[in-house]
Structure 1
Amino acid sequence: MGYQLSAVIADADLLREQTAELDHAVLGELRQDFALLPVTPQLVVELTGSLPDYTVDDRSAEHPFGLVLSTALVDLLSGWSRSGPVAYAEAEFGGGVGHQAAAVWLGGELAWGPRFDDVFDAPRDQWPINEALTRLGVEPGTWIDPFAELGLHLERNTDGWLAHGRRRLSADYWDELVEQWENQ
């Protein structure tokens, strides 16, 4: 089973405030009062007024994201980051191989990244998404890393996160289901 992620991740209140008037914004609730905004072509059009562009190059440090971060989209994320740190993250895995990339904006500027990894030979806390989440303020917990701590493993793709958000589920909901199942 594969995994795909293309999302903006930030404090839930920050994302709610910034996306309240958008038709194509669906927030997926995470742990620690964070949320993710699945990035879809419709959302990019609504945010920027232009169709999204995708790279045809293989992902690498030079081309870390599949979505080309247009000037309009970068300006938007920079603007949102005046209210708190904002990350853009992508990941794609299948059959045991894959890659992930992330960048963080803070105070109206790119503060970190973008970083890319497809080897994963560094410690988990140095993987791009984990490092970005730490820079957002994710606290260590009982899960193996910040990615799991927030619950980013709960859905497998953008469609899953859209359903998650539309149903107003939270990561805690899944934890409660597991607890009920274990107690039976």
Structure 2
Amino acid sequence: MYYLVAVIAEAGMLRDRVDRMEHGAVAMLRDGMALVPVSQALFEELTGSEHHGLFSERMPPAFDRVLAEWSTHGPLAFVQADFFGGDGDQTATVWRDGAPAWGPVHDRRFDGPREQWPINAALAQLGLRSAGWTYSSNPTLAVDLFDQIGLGMERDMTDWLDHARSGATPAPYEDLVRELKRRETEEALAGIRPALNGREIMTLLNIPSGPLVGAATRRLKELHLERGPLPHEVAEAELHTWAHEQGIA
């Protein structure tokens, strides 16, 4: 499940807009961006009227006026997403200088390039650009703007409101990429059987049982991960080289 109705813009601009509102909350994203979850309570506070669920492509005039006024302080995107079990839809509109500048764009098929999906396209309209990252699970697929700024961190409006009220700041995407790669490496190493077992390593390097044996075993696993299975004699030679570099032998 994923459900979001929100205004996305530069963080400082959004803070200024909702600073004195009872139901306004700013959830920090990456790349200097943030979002304001448009809850039912906030909608009523902003417009003085009720609205339930997602908006159609024609916005209520009172909310249009709010978005128009906010956009005089900086460009913004109003986005909606509703997914369950892999099916769903997105709608996005960009406002700039007091008027709609792009959209609304709606999609429920998602059969085009990811950068053309409504929310990704709206973020590009705000000036965001790809950082050049790829998904660790699929290195040929570029991370889209939706994930780059952190829109996948929470799954529904309640989570986003909690995120906003906590004041949490998301880790830089570079840190997340490094952590994901580290986890994948550790999982891969755990499944590798090294060319030499612990007893053979102790005999080869003339070392007792202990942390050094674990370090040597890890080195053999890393070499296996880089090159594939090592012949016994190659593993011994590599381990001698490693031990010399470590000052062990």
The normalised TM-score by structure 2 is 0.64
Pairs aligned (count) = 174
SS at match of 2:59: coil
When residues 52 and 175 of structure 1 are mapped into structure 2, their CA distance, relative to the original with a 3 A threshold, is: farther
Stretches of structure 1 that go unaligned for 5 or more consecutive residues are none
When residues 150 and 173 of structure 1 are mapped into structure 2, their CA distance, relative to the original with a 3 A threshold, is: closer
In structure 1, what is the equivalent of residue 51 of structure 2? 52
In structure 2, what is the equivalent of residue 38 of structure 1? 37
1:103 to 89, 93, 106: 93
Structure with the higher helix share, 1 or 2: 2
Which stretch of the first structure deviates more once superposed, 164-173 or 133-142?
164-173
In structure 1, what is the equivalent of residue 72 of structure 2? 82
How far apart in 1 are the matches of 2:64 and 2:9?
A: 15
1:137 to 127, 142, 145: 127
SS at match of 1:23: coil
CA deviations 1:22-71 (Å, max 9, x no partner) are 0101111000111000010100011111112557xxx9xxx44xxx6211
2:127 maps to 1:128: no
Shift of 1:173: 7.3
How far apart in 2 are the matches of 1:155 and 1:175?
A: 19
Pick 1 or 2: higher relative contact order, CA cutoff 8 A, min separation 6: 1
In structure 2, what is the equivalent of residue 116 of structure 1? 106
Aligned-pair RMSD on alpha carbons?
2.2
Stretches of structure 2 that go unaligned for 5 or more consecutive residues are 135-142, 187-249
For 1:116, give the aligned amino acid. Answer: H
How far apart in 1 are the matches of 2:101 and 2:179?
A: 41
CA deviations 1:83-123 (Å, max 9, x no partner) are 11111100011111110000010011000110000000110
Percent identity reads 40
Runs of 4+ more than 3 Å apart:
173-184
When residues 10 and 94 of structure 1 are mapped into structure 2, their CA distance, relative to the original with a 3 A threshold, is: same
In structure 2, what is the equivalent of residue 10 of structure 1? 9
How far apart in 2 are the matches of 1:91 and 1:19?
A: 22
SS at match of 2:3: strand
Q: Which has the higher Rg, Structure 1 or Structure 2?
A: 2
Alignment of 1:12-31 (within 5 A): 12-31=11-30
